[in-house]
Each structure stands twice: as structure tokens, then as C-alpha cells.
Amino acid sequence: MAAPAEETSVGVIVPQTVHFDEPLALDSGRVLPGYTLAYETYGTLNADASNAILVCHALSGNHHAAGYHHAGERKPGWWEACIGPGKPLDTNRFFVVCSNNLGGCHGSTGPTSIDPETGELYGADFPLVTVRDWVRSQARLADHLGVARWAAVAGGSLGGMQAMQWAIDQPERLRHAVVIAAAPRLSAQNIAFNEVARQAIRSDPDFQDGRYAATGDRPRTGLMLARMLGHITYLSEAAMGEKFGRERRDTRSGYHYNYDVEFEVESYLRYQGESFVDRFDANTYLLMTRALDYFDPAAATDGDLSVALSGVTAPFFVASFTSDWRFPPAASHEIVRALLDTDKRVSYAEIRANHGHDAFLMPVPRYREVFSTYMQRIAEEVGV
């Protein structure tokens, strides 16, 4: 029998922030004079700091990965399915850290922050950042927390790409890389989806070249459309069919013959888009999708991913989902093959699930089982 929710949740969590005064050189050639990272922690760091795990979030995620911000909150953190007592990232054993990526809009320095050089909001003037930039910024967070080496760096989707970049750029600073529902680079189709989303935002009259904050307006329609498009790609056809089919909002009469909501799936997408606008910044969405586009560790090795991964020392756990057409199993296979080509240690699981890309967020039993088994191995390795 499943444990009560309060026994498997980390409970009420207080977010934290840390400011770094040391300038950060970015891949774009620009330099941030300093920056703040918002983060949360779950569990307790042990005496030798060997049980720390860094969780990296996906495109629209943030540092709130588990638990609640107040007792009456209904929706927990985005990876509640996997973080907490008795879950794969067991907080009775591990000290789990999740930070809002640099460029985010939930407490870390980004487009909604004040530019110290002008005294105004960065807005569209915030520099583009890359996954490598995030790794550099998070390494300083590790130093701040007293973590010389993560037991694992883990994430799904864009978070899995960060885990891969950590293994490449900071091999001595992580024991294991956990890469879930990710890819070694975006396909042309994925870049195309991102571009359509960006154009939806940029063509909104209220976008104002990204300087909308000065007028108090926001490109609500453009951001809503971008989110609706993105959400379609996160679900599988089977999941959408099972959840909505062709169900109509009003079954008491025939078609209304207009462009108002007729079908339940239309209502769902509009709700997802409208609620997203209230919690996310348009400039940040542009920035995050571009960081996804730019991720390609093999670009520096003439397209040879095996060479790009040849310096990693951490064993990998790679997982994919059969119905994920955004980052399909074939993308994970490419990562696994590249690791095996240079005799790296890798465990791979392909999980049958009909949730689409969002499966990595769900409590899919087989997923939880294999993820927990791998994390049990790490726990035994570090002695917790």
C-alpha cells in the first residue's frame, strides 16, 4: 500500500538565494558582472558532503522541484514523483539541490532582474546563455554549499542535457550522470518547434522588441501560443486521445459553428497557455529555447559524440520512454552508443509509457523501479 502523501513528501520548503560577485564569462563573449541563483535543498548534507545530488530542470522548470511553499499549496514541485522519502532521489539518504537556471525568471538573475550597470531591468538586453554557462554557474553554487563532488547530477529533458554537460566539463566533480528523456542535440524538427514558439512571442505587438516591462504590458497572446505549441509536443497522441479523444465541452447540442472552444482538448490547451503566462517571462522563454538549440557537445569534435564524451569519468544512467517523440529513444541510443564506443560505463532503460515526453515527470512504476535501483547503487557507493 502506498504511503500517505505527507510521508513521501519533503513537506514545506523555503527557497534560498546566493549572490556571486565574481564576474562570469559567458560563451557568447559577454560577461555578467555578478549573478544570483535561487535554489532549494531537500534532505541533509552528510559530514563529508558525499551524498549531494544536483537536479537540473527542464525548459520551463525552476528550482522548486519538490514539496510545497506553504501548507495550503495544492501543486507540489515539478519532480515530486521522484524526490522525497522512499522515492528514487531518497531524501532520507541524499541531500538534493535544485537551482533556477541562470537567465530564469524565478529568482535567479535573468531578464526580469536589474542590470547593475544601468539600474534598469535587463529585459531583452540580458545575454544569451548556454548549457555550458549553466554548468559554470552551478559549479560555484556547489562551492558555496561545500560540495566538492556531486554523488550525481540528474535531470530530464534539458536537465538531462545539463547532466551530460557536467560530465564533460567537470568530470572530477560528479560521480554519476543521470540523463533522462534527453538528446545529444536537437533535431531540425525540434529547432523548428522552438522557432515557431519564438516567433509567436516576437510577433505579438505587446512584445515591443523585448522591452515590454517598461510599458507594463506583456506579450500574453504570443507566450500563450508558444506554451500551447510546446505542450502538444510534450504529450503523445495516445495520451491526448486517452485523456480527451474528441470529447466536446457541450454535449447537449450540436456544433456551434464558430471559433469558440468546442472540444475538451482546446479548453485544456488554452488553460495551459493562460496559466503559463501568469508565471513565466517571455524573454526567458526565448532565452531557454535558444539554449536548447545551441546544445551540441559534439560540435567541438567534428560531430563525433564519442570523442566529445571520451573524457567523462562518471558512469551514466540513461533512460527514455517509448512514446516520447520529442526526444525519442533513438536519441538516447545515440548517447549510449557514444559512451560504449570509448568503453564508458552506462546503464540504459527504455520504459514503455504512453505519456509522451512528460513521462519523466510521472510516477510510472517501471520508471520509478529502475531509477530507484540505480540510485540505490549510488547510495551504497557513497555509504548512505
Catalytic residues: 157, 324, 357
Question: CA-to-CA distance for 76 and 70, rounded, in angstroms?
Answer: 10
- What letter represents residue 39's amino acid? Y
Question: CA-to-CA distance for 352 and 116, rounded, in angstroms?
Answer: 49
Tell which residue, 292, 310, 305, has the closest CA to residue 332: 305
**How many Cα atoms sit within 13 Å of 115 on the Cβ side?**
12
C-alpha cell at 339: 559512451
Tell which residue, 380, 384, 378, 302, has the closest CA to residue 345: 378
Q: Are the C-beta atoms of residues 71 and 12 closer than 8 Å to each other? A: yes
Tell which residue, 183, 181, 178, has the closest CA to residue 153: 178
Q: How many CB atoms lie within 10 A of CB 65?
A: 28
Determine if residue 21 is labeled as part of a ligand binding site.
Answer: no
Backbone φ, ψ for residue 233 (5° rounding): -75, -15
- For residue 216, what are the contacts with CB-CB under 8 A and spacing of at least 6? none
Question: CA-to-CA distance for 13 and 74, rounded, in angstroms?
Answer: 14
Tell which residue, 173, 125, 146, has the closest CA to residue 48: 146
- For residue 45, what are the contacts with CB-CB under 8 A and spacing of at least 6? 51, 52, 95, 145, 146, 147
Tell which residue, 288, 182, 180, 183, has the closest CA to residue 226: 288
Q: How far is CA 362 from CA 142, 311, 359, 366, 368, in A?
A: 28, 33, 5, 11, 9
Q: Are the C-beta atoms of residues 40 and 108 closer than 8 Å to each other? A: no
Determine if residue 227 is labeled as part of a ligand binding site.
Answer: yes
Annotated binding residues for substrate, written as ranges, equal 227, 358
